[in-house]
Amino acid sequence: MKKERESWGSSFGFLMAAVGSAVGLGNLWGFPYKMGANGGFAFLLFYLILVVFAGYVLVMTELALGRATGKSIIPAYRAATDGKMTFVGVFSALAPFFILGFYCYLGGYAVKYMISNFGDLFGAGFGVNGTEGSEFFTNLFTNRGESAVYTLIFIALTIIIVSRGVKGGIEKFNKFAMPALFVLLLIVVVRSCTLEGAGAGISFMFKPDFSVFHGTGWISVLAAAGGQMFFSVSLGMGILVTYGSYMDKNDDIARSGFVIPVADTIIAILAGLAIMPAVFAFGMEPTGGPGLLFMTLQNVFNSMGKAGGLFGGLFYLLVSIAALTSSMSVLEAIIGSFIDNGLDKGKGNQRKMIAWIAGGLCAIMGVAVAFDGLGTYLPPMFGRFCWLDGFDLLAEGLLMPIATFCTVCYFGWIKKDFLPTEIKNGSSFKTEGFYRFCLRWLAPVFCAFILVGQIDSFFGLGIF
Ligand code: PHE
């Protein structure tokens, strides 16, 4: 039976989908805060250096691996490494499974906040405006039934889009959603930066503070910037391998390797400009993580009076879109291997069925996270983590950096010509020497460093 493997409709569509995967909660709640807390402009410089020496190279590596084999994660690793490193594919394929388990829970919250803000704006009485942000958030995560329902709504949206296919679902949605996200972001940036007292937020982010580099301080800044970039560009979980496998042979991988992390960084900076000036203008504390997104910012919107419902609604719409375009890439990475398997066995394209089954399994994990209520109800995972952090540890802390470390070692040292040969299809690849050097010498060190940094921050070892 003839294979019916899917592909992207256009290179613009592919780029939007890849940038859509990269731009997510990491950009909105991680980057602005980490930048402010780690030396401002100095952190940005480190981050940009990492984008050039590691992000660029790793994105190209994953895309080329996917396109060279024309397969999704597990079969791609099996084919490219002659079966020797299939386990790396398995690691990469397990990571998105754990990620989706908690990502859909957080995405569900974004949807809930969007509905509540717009609802209050139109007088539907959702009670978000006028309630202290931390109280609203606590009420939500301790209401396990409601949290579970929003988690399920979010994952259902993800499954519906992904089940429509690479071109008809993921690409179509991203082509429209990413430009919309950009416009929404600009609206919020203008509002935030024109508030009285916004300057303090801008200087929190950008003020160069080189004192963080004194002594060994630069190591912890490097660890923070590296970990952030790794997650933000969606590395190490086969997403870019899977997306690369749907690319046209004439597409320029070297250009995509540059555009994806750069666009991701620009959006992260804009997200900072949307968030920090407003946080400071209203005299609130800049924090990181869920607290920033679901408590501090909601207080900012509440302080805007009637306009708060509008800007709050628009902002959480933006967050929902960013989370959705990321979560669909995660689901695609999970199901790609199974779809390929079905095609190889002559069963045709079983996308719909596989998407619902895999999505359903992730939904069970998401509901478990919701029922844990951020560590309030269920016994801790591995004796010390709330379920959300436990899944995150498995994926981001261990599987992703280990898989990437093995990948760069194999293709940098053993099968050295495999990826450059692929990249040269469709690209003049003027940076080949640079790519080979970075893949061989810098990327393994970078990945090992990320792994230690992740373990350090999860277990609070204080190594860096
Ligand atoms: N890159 C996304 C973000 O910045 C998160 C993500 C990580 C998405 C891994 C998919 C895979 O939030």
381: phi then psi, degrees, rounded to nearest 5: -80, 140
Q: What are the angstrom distances between the C-alpha of 155 and each of 218, 327, 351, 358, 359?
A: 39, 8, 16, 11, 7
Atom of ligand 1 nearest to the CA of 27: 4
Asked if residue 26 has its Cβ within 6 Å of ligand 1, the reply is yes
Pocket test for ligand 1, best of 19, 21, 450 (most atoms within 8 A of CB): 21
Asked if residue 404 has its Cβ within 6 Å of ligand 1, the reply is no
State the pTM of this model.
0.94
pLDDT of residue 115: 96
On the CB side of 447, CA atoms within 13 Å amount to 23
Report, as an integer, the average pLDDT of 315-328.
97
Query: For 221-277, how does the pLDDT look when each residue is reduced to its tens digit (9 = 90+)?
Result: 888 898 899 899 999 999 999 999 999 999 999 999 999 999 999 999 999 999 999
pLDDT of residue 129: 83
pLDDT of residue 459: 87
pLDDT of residue 3: 59
Instruction: State percent of the chain over pLDDT 70.
Output: 99
On the CB side of 217, CA atoms within 13 Å amount to 12
Asked if residue 161 has its Cβ within 6 Å of ligand 1, the reply is no
Instruction: State percent of the chain over pLDDT 90.
Output: 77
Q: Which domains does the chain have, with CATH numbers?
A: 11-459 (1.10.4160.10)
Query: For 290-311, how does the pLDDT look when each residue is reduced to its tens digit (9 = 90+)?
Result: 788 899 999 999 988 888 899 9
Contact 151, 363 (CB under 8 A): yes
More confident residue, 389 or 220: 389
Contact 191, 279 (CB under 8 A): no
| Separation of CA 23 and ligand 1 centre (Å) | 7
Asked if residue 312 has its Cβ within 6 Å of ligand 1, the reply is no
| Separation of CA 427 and ligand 1 centre (Å) | 27
Asked if residue 438 has its Cβ within 6 Å of ligand 1, the reply is no
Asked if residue 228 has its Cβ within 6 Å of ligand 1, the reply is no
Query: For 195-223, how does the pLDDT look when each residue is reduced to its tens digit (9 = 90+)?
Result: 999 999 999 999 988 888 787 778 888 88
The closest residue, in CA terms, to atom 11 on ligand 1 is 234
pLDDT greater than 50 at residue 155: yes
**23, two tokens:** 């731009």
